[in-house]
């Protein structure tokens, strides 16, 4: 299977496990887990053809670690980024003093006015390194990176979580905790 086909399957998995499980009529439990056998059967019936070996390859090699298996490898879920309501079971963690948020330059003024909000996702996503934030920002046009004063937010009683893939999550970031960076 070539890289283009693997990317297509990965994007399909994001749709089914993060946003619209009803696309292929799979059920996610309250923690976002789907049965692997059910996922494979219904994806194949939908015309997205892959097997367990390919699924394991995608999970193992996805650079963003978007997906995870449970300990027995019979369930799979997206690590974060859901637009549907799931409880990922993450506990409040003390973040580093500084985190980063990448966006497109066109969103900067709006973010400065209102802060970062989760919009249609469950959390705002933050990076621990500026390179990742730049890469995220590039998906939205010319990249722009905000420095997030996460340590100060934590002291001010904001909650932070870290996803299995290392992405930091929080409910919102008021603009007073944002500093502009030159990229």
Q: Which pLDDT does position 86 carry in this prediction?
A: 83
Domains and CATH numbers, the chain: 3-78 (1.10.10.970), 99-180 (3.20.170.30)
Report residue 45's pLDDT band, with 50, 70 and 90 as the boundaries.
very high
Mean pLDDT over each residue of the chain, to the nearest integer = 93
The label of the residue with tokens 């923690």 reads 31
Among 22-26, 82-86, 149-153, where is mean pLDDT lowest? 82-86
Instruction: Find out whether 28 and 16 touch, Cβ atoms under 8 Å.
Output: no
Q: Is the pLDDT of residue 173 over 80?
A: yes
Average confidence (pLDDT) over 57-74: 91
Q: Which pLDDT does position 183 carry in this prediction?
A: 61
Instruction: Find out whether 13 and 24 touch, Cβ atoms under 8 Å.
Output: no
Share of the chain above pLDDT 90, in %: 79
Q: Is the pLDDT of residue 182 over 80?
A: no
pLDDT digits (tens, 9 = 90+) for 82-115: 888 888 888 899 999 999 999 999 999 999 999 9
Q: How far apart are CA 1 and CA 11, in angstroms?
A: 15
Question: Residues with Cβ < 8 Å from 46, sequence gap 6 or more?
Answer: 23, 24
Average confidence (pLDDT) over 46-63: 94
Q: Is the pLDDT of residue 75 over 80?
A: yes
């Amino acid at each position: 299977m070539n890289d283009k086909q693997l990317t297509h399957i990965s994007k399909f998995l994001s749709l089914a496990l993060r946003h619209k499980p009803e696309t292929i009529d799979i059920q996610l439990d309250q923690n976002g887990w789907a049965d692997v056998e059910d996922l494979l059967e219904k994806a194949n019936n939908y015309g997205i053809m892959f097997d367990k070996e390919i699924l394991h390859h995608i999970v193992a090699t996805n650079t963003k670690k978007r997906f995870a298996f449970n300990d027995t490898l019979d369930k799979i879920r997206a690590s974060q980024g859901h637009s549907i309501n799931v409880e990922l079971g993450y506990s409040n963690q003390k973040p580093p003093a500084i985190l980063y948020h990448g966006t497109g330059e066109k969103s900067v003024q709006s973010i400065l006015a209102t802060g970062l909000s989760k919009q249609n996702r469950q959390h705002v996503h933050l990076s621990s390194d500026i390179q990742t934030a730049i890469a995220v920002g590039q998906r939205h046009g010319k990249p722009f990176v905000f420095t997030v004063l996460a340590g100060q937010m934590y002291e001010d009683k904001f909650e932070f979580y870290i996803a299995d893939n290392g992405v930091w999550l929080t409910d919102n970031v008021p603009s007073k905790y944002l500093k502009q960076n030159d990229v």
